[in-house]
Amino acid sequence: MFKKDPLQIIAFQTYGSSNHIYLRGRAIEDENINLEQKGVFQLLFNAWKRFETDEIKNTKLKVKMGDDKFFYTKTDNDGYFLLDEKVEDISAYANEEGWVNLEFSFREEQISRTIQSENRFPGEMLIPSKKASFGVISDIDDTILHTGLTSTLKWRVLINTLLTSSGKRLPLEGATEFYHLLHQGKTGNEANPIFYVSHSPWNLYRYLKYFLKKNNFPKGPIVLRNFPSPFSKKNKDDKPQKQKEILNLLKAYPKLKFILIGDSGEHDPDIYLEVAQAYPDRILAIYLRSVNHKKKMLRVSGLYKDYKTTPVLLIESSKQAIEHAKRNKFVT
């Protein structure tokens, strides 16, 4: 008889406001994935475990904030949960950067399986600081982390994701410095929130979180997407999930302006242009990293040729972006 894996709750770094909580995560079996793993076989095995998850379905969860506030939610058929509700003022629970510490636990009495951490799993939610003068919404793939999305047949993506540990992945040169400058703002103490919004599936959440932390990027909410079902039908008028998440952020913080950062390889240019056109007074600038693909770069240049409302910069290096941000007084 095989020994069953212990249960765990993975609470995603998310965001909210003083009167609104928006908590996301997933309850799955703990496969004990080593993010520093070496060796081709073990890396492939870890990659398989990320996507072949054993979810804890339709299970009640409890969320504790401080010593006196409790919230309740339930996982769906894929083990995911979303707690999206208005609350009384919770700003007192946030630290000076705006982070609120949370504790998640299982409620089901019938869960007799081993649970790690004595049925206590940490989570965090960001309430943007009142000192913030703008927010940053950034892609991850080929924006701060080279993935090879423009490579032929996406072979580079497979090699980088499946055969390289997150601890060995390197950020694009100068990206960490640029993001810290944006986080600090023009006063050096603004705590501008950084939201990492990617087209990657939630299965890669811990992989990407570990990469961001190890490479000293500013901590921020990480927003990914559900792994698409092979049988799901998409309405042709549906917006990409990434675009929907960006619009959610704009609605969540109606008084906050944003800088959008992405790459020129896939859909970021189209999504960012549409968002900027819909909210012309909310987008301060768009930074798009250039990719080594002549046809794609020509397309992006043509896309923004007649667009003059928001500053748009196609950047070859972080140094260019930093200089532009300084000229526009986003950073000091």
| Per-residue pLDDT, 265 | 82
Task: Return d(Cα 223, Cα 107) in angstroms, integer.
Answer: 26
C-beta neighbour count of 301 within 10 angstroms: 13
| Per-residue pLDDT, 168 | 55
Report the relative pairing of strands 14-15 and 121-126 from DSSP bridges: parallel
Q: Check: CB of residue 72 under 8 Å from CB of residue 61.
A: yes
Q: In the chain, where does DSSP find H-type helix? A: 40-51, 155-162, 175-184, 205-214, 241-252, 268-278, 294-303, 318-327
Task: Return d(Cα 69, Cα 317) in angstroms, integer.
Answer: 46
Tell me the DSSP string of 217-261. PPP--EEEEPPPPTT----TTPPPHHHHHHHHHHHH-TT--EEEE
Q: Check: CB of residue 293 under 8 Å from CB of residue 300.
A: no
Sign of CA dihedral 132, 134, 140, 143: negative
Q: What is the pLDDT of residues 20-61, one digit of tens each?
A: 999 999 998 875 544 454 444 454 444 444 444 578 899 999
| Per-residue pLDDT, 262 | 94
Say which residue the tokens 């242009």 belong to: 273
Low-confidence ranges of the chain (pLDDT < 50): 1-2, 33-35, 37-41, 43-52, 149-159, 162-163, 165, 167, 230-231
Task: Return d(Cα 7, Cα 10) in angstroms, integer.
Answer: 10
Tokens matching residue 330:
């986003």
Strands (E), 52-171: 60-65, 69-74, 80-86, 99-106, 121-126, 135-138
Phi-psi region of 34 (alpha: psi -120 to 50; beta: other; left: phi over 0): beta
Q: Check: CB of residue 56 under 8 Å from CB of residue 46.
A: no
Q: Which residues contact 54 (CB under 8 A, 6 or more apart)?
A: 5, 28, 29, 31
| Short-list 309, 310, 293, 239, CA closest to 271 | 239
| Per-residue pLDDT, 153 | 38
Q: Check: CB of residue 313 under 8 Å from CB of residue 167.
A: no
| Per-residue pLDDT, 169 | 55
Q: Check: CB of residue 14 under 8 Å from CB of residue 125.
A: yes
Ramachandran angles phi, psi of 324, nearest 5°: -65, -45
CA R_g for the chain: 20
Amino acid identity of residue 18, one-letter, is S
Q: Which residues contact 44 (CB under 8 A, 6 or more apart)?
A: 162, 163
